[in-house]
Amino acid sequence: MEIHIVADAEAGAQVVADTFARTLQEAGPSGAVLGLATGSSPVPTYTELIRRHREEGLSFADSRAFLLDEYVGLPAGHDQSYHRFIRENFTEQIDIDDAAVVSPNGAAADPIAEAASYDRRIAEAGGVDLQILGIGSNGHIAFNEPGSSLNSRTRVVGLTRSTITDNSRYFDSPVDVPVRALSQGLGTILEARRIVLTATGASKAAAVAQLIEGAISSRWPATVLQLHPDVVVVVDEAAAAELQLADDYRYARRLEIENPLDVTQV
Ligand code: F6R
């Protein structure tokens, strides 16, 4: 894992946006397949990417995007649907084709069939080049709650009490939060070629410590990312507070910046 401990969310957004820019550049004219998350963690990154699009010409014109998850029971236009969230906070403000921004259909008559077809659609697009992730305070990624199979696929999942409580801030009351979601599985997420996870604030400190330093276990689903060969983790000081080896990660980053790898000399 490449671990960045940054001063604040804005500094983190620069690092994550650089990862997007690199992925777009590597994909070239055929366009990148982006995996997008909702929630508060990626918003500073989306804001920075919108700025780079407007001011620096960063283009998403040939890209496609797949969302991680969607609440079951909320139609696409619902003001708390993730379909709507990603458009308002990101994709309507860049030059990606709206039809190329795909999310699981939370209003599907048969959510189980919808889940199965979602993995197929990602595969048909050639797989995800870059997946951005947040992390729940209980260690979930997407809606893979503790106890999720480490090789799970996109499926219908029940939300835990702690996730419903965390997400109730977006709803009038906790009883309005849907109790189920369609979520990419941990196995689905691991198929992305590059993953960048971002977290800020003390409420994420325990989950971040487990993600980086804990044993791989479905108790903390994000720990499965330790198995992935290309993961960038970007956290602020508060979210890094429970890391035992934070100084080592800072030292490693500093060494890399001061001694960039010159491939012509290797
Ligand atoms: C959102 C998602 C969730 C969030 C996580 C953190 O698409 O899949 O796993 O990333 O719940 O949420 P925030 O960023 O709001 O703290």
Nearest-CA residue for ligand 1 atom 9 is 142
Q: What is the pLDDT of residues 17-28, one digit of tens each?
A: 999 999 999 998
pLDDT at residue 224 tops 90 = yes
Nearest-CA residue for ligand 1 atom 10 is 134
Is 86 a pocket residue for ligand 1 (Cβ < 6 Å)?
no
Atom of ligand 1 nearest to the CA of 183: 8
Residue range 80-104: mean pLDDT, rounded: 96
Contact by Cβ (8 Å): 192, 229: no
Centroid of ligand 1 to alpha carbon of 263 (angstroms): 37
| Averaged pLDDT score across all residues of the chain | 95
Residue 68: per-residue pLDDT: 98
Q: What is the pLDDT of residues 1-57, one digit of tens each?
A: 999 999 999 999 999 999 999 999 999 888 999 999 999 999 999 999 999 999 999
Centroid of ligand 1 to alpha carbon of 198 (angstroms): 10
Is 126 a pocket residue for ligand 1 (Cβ < 6 Å)?
no
CB atoms within 10 A of CB 146: 16
Residue 38: per-residue pLDDT: 96
Contact by Cβ (8 Å): 183, 143: yes
Candidate CATH numbers 1.10.10.410, 3.40.50.1360, 3.30.950.10, 3.30.1540.10; the one for domain 2-265: 3.40.50.1360
Mutate to test the pocket of ligand 1, among 66, 80, 143 (most ligand atoms within 8 A of CB): 143
Radius of gyration of the chain (CA): 18
Contact by Cβ (8 Å): 96, 61: yes
pLDDT at residue 196 tops 90 = yes
Contact by Cβ (8 Å): 184, 118: yes
Residue 262: per-residue pLDDT: 76
Q: Is 140 a catalytic residue?
A: yes
Residue 164's nearest CA partner among 180, 148, 153 is 180
Residue 169: per-residue pLDDT: 86
pLDDT at residue 265 tops 70 = no
Residue 20: per-residue pLDDT: 98
**Which residues make Cβ contacts (< 8 Å) with residue 68, sequence separation at least 6?**
35, 36, 37, 38, 82, 131, 133, 142, 143, 183, 184, 189
Atom of ligand 1 nearest to the CA of 37: 7
**Which residues make Cβ contacts (< 8 Å) with residue 212, sequence separation at least 6?**
1, 3, 226, 233, 243, 249
Q: What is the pLDDT of residues 170-192, one digit of tens each?
A: 888 888 889 999 999 999 999 99
Is 39 a pocket residue for ligand 1 (Cβ < 6 Å)?
yes
pTM score, whole prediction: 0.95
Sheet holding 64-67, edge to edge: 2-6, 231-236, 194-199, 130-133, 33-36, 64-67, 101-102
Atom of ligand 1 nearest to the CA of 36: 7
- The pLDDT > 90 percentage for the chain reads 85
Is 196 a pocket residue for ligand 1 (Cβ < 6 Å)?
no
Residue 162: per-residue pLDDT: 86
Contact by Cβ (8 Å): 159, 217: no
Of residues 145, 166, 167, 236, which has the active-site annotation?
A: 145
Residue 63: per-residue pLDDT: 97
Centroid of ligand 1 to alpha carbon of 265 (angstroms): 42
Alpha carbon distance 139, 220 (integer Å): 5
**Which residues make Cβ contacts (< 8 Å) with residue 183, sequence separation at least 6?**
68, 69, 104, 142, 143, 144, 154, 155, 157
Is 141 a pocket residue for ligand 1 (Cβ < 6 Å)?
yes
Mutate to test the pocket of ligand 1, among 90, 140, 164, 234 (most ligand atoms within 8 A of CB): 140
Alpha carbon distance 92, 261 (integer Å): 38
